[in-house]
Amino acid sequence: MSEQQKLLQDIVLNNLKESGVLGKLKAELRANVVNIINQKENNNTSNLKADKLFQSTEGVMALALIKDFLNFFELSYTLSVLEPQIEGINLPDNNSVNNFLNFDKKEGSEHNANEPLLIKLLKRKSSLTAKYELSELNDDVSSISKIKMSKHNSEYCTSDGTISPSYSLNELDYKEDAEK
């Protein structure tokens, strides 16, 4: 092969890779190979882990999320490999998955245009985690404040945190100013 032919081959190969054509062809080839193997194989062989998982509601919902993800991003060749493997499993539609995940109607309708359900679920989880962590932080600050208040004001307060009847508010202000 001449130097020019080698250079042309490299240019074509790089362009096919960059445009995604080569990746799509490889994926389509893999999908066809898997389909041929599945057609030739005896149906007695199965994946026991997957079979067990897909008998549960959570397993079927997870599969529906994956399929929605692949459809959303138009990963048709990857989907064509998955579909023969999940043949016979009755997957719920997106409305059923929305209900299962407790997405309100606004969240469910937004997902179709903007992002797949799986991404929406992960964003919700991240949001809830952040809210939970903030709540824990607020609880910690509140506890620390209560401890400081009870130590600082132990001589002024009763055990339930109310001001002792033996002091008036003016006396408390005066004593605190004197301590400073």
Q: What is the CATH number of the domain that holds 117?
A: 1.20.960.40
Residue 138 has pLDDT above 70, yes or no: no
Q: Cα–Cα distances in Å, from 82 out to 1, 40, 54, 65, 77?
A: 40, 17, 14, 13, 9
Least confident of 6-20, 29-43, 75-89, 116-130: 29-43
For 58, the domain range is 46-128
Domain presence at residue 141: no
Residue 175 has pLDDT above 80, yes or no: no
**Number of compact structural domains in the chain:** 1
Please report which confidence band the pLDDT of residue 167 belongs to, taking 50, 70 and 90 as the band edges.
very low
Domain presence at residue 161: no
Residue 65 has pLDDT above 90, yes or no: yes
- Dihedral over alpha carbons 148, 153, 158, 162 (to 10 degrees): -80
Residue 115 has pLDDT above 50, yes or no: yes
The residues that bridge with 163 in the sheet, in sequence order, are 157
Domain presence at residue 69: yes
Is the pTM higher than 0.85? The answer reads: no
Give backbone dihedrals phi and psi of 94, rounded to 5 degrees, phi first: -60, -35
Mean pLDDT of 53-59: 91
Between 150 and 143, the more confident residue is 143
- Three-state SS at 151: helix
